Amino acid sequence: MIIIHARMSVKPEKKEEFLQEIEAVMEGSRAEAGNNSYDLFQDPKDANSFIMVENWKDMEAVQAHNASSHFQKFSAAAKEMLSAPLAADVYQGEKLN
């Protein structure tokens, strides 16, 4: 299992646009064959900071996701909406129970 934490800082004036764009990414990503979960969380102390917590079956699923049209569209648009480059941490894990 591959787990990704993608941190995003959004320009305040682009927050509504970001939320609309990210909704389409979440819908498309959740429908992908190798996706276990794809959830966005907002920092309670910073209304413009978000983290996407992704859970994928394997690295092949991540690679397919990265090549998907909905992710590519968001990645291109994100450059204008984010106040800093997206920061992602990738982990390999296994369910213990």
pTM, entire model: 0.92
Pair 7, 51: CB distance under 8 Å: yes
Tell me the pLDDT band of 97, cut-offs 50, 70 and 90.
confident
Domains defined for the chain, CATH in brackets: 8-83 (3.30.70.100)
**Predicted confidence (pLDDT) at residue 68 exceeds the cutoff of 90:** yes
| pLDDT tens-digit map of 21-67 | 999 999 999 999 999 999 999 999 999 999 999 999 999 999 999 99
